[in-house]
Amino acid sequence: MGNLGCGCPGSMARVIERNEDAVAVTGVTAAAVKASSELRQWPVQLHLVPPTAPYFKDAELLLCADCVGFAMGELHAELLKGKALAIACPKLDDTGPYLEKLAQIIRFNNTPKVTVAIMEVPCCRGLQLLAAEAIQKSGREVALETVIIGIDGSRRK
């Protein structure tokens, strides 16, 4: 992966090849499969969610980079189900207010776990660091899991 010389290597334009025949092998076309939404609340953007919203009470939090929802086709079934959601972009958003807001969500709502879903590009790591700092600032011991998604939508280790 090369650097364009003008910024983040995650900004490099890439084409993701898909094997359309892979779905046909099972005898089910992509058009015939309809995924269910697991979204439990609105709004979802971290700038807009109120820290004391009822959907955060006792809920695991999925802090998700904006691009993950577009790259990962199974986001709802694999990551979102049963969790409260906040989305953000650590590269493009003004993340200054995010630290205190996340700390408040964790502190006031008995959050048992925070899962951070980020893309494999370097600029996304800021969301993982923000979550870890917010947990520390909340004064609570909370489990933190990071899930890294490749630009092709697959989970990375």
Domains annotated on the chain, with CATH? 35-156 (3.40.50)
Handedness of CA 13, 16, 17, 18 (dihedral sign): negative
Lowest mean pLDDT among 3-17, 40-54, 95-109, 131-145: 3-17
Average pLDDT on 106-126 reads: 97
Name which residue leads in pLDDT, 107 or 27. 107
Asked whether the predicted pLDDT for residue 41 surpasses 80, the reply is yes
**Secondary structure of 87-155 in the HEC alphabet?**
EECCCCCCCCCHHHHHHHHHHHCCCCEEEEEEECCHHHHHHHHHHHHHHHHHCCCCEEEEEEECCCCCE
How confident is the model at residue 12, as a pLDDT? Answer: 66
How confident is the model at residue 92, as a pLDDT? Answer: 94
CB atoms within 10 A of CB 123: 18
Average pLDDT on 62-90 reads: 96
1 confidence band (pLDDT: 50, 70, 90) = very low
The pairing of beta strand 155-156 with beta strand 143-149 = antiparallel
36 confidence band (pLDDT: 50, 70, 90) = confident
Asked whether the predicted pLDDT for residue 15 surpasses 70, the reply is no
Distance CA 20, CA 59 (A): 37
Average pLDDT, the chain: 87
Tokens representing 89 are: 């972009």
Asked whether the predicted pLDDT for residue 67 surpasses 50, the reply is yes
Tally: H helices and E strands in the chain: 5, 5
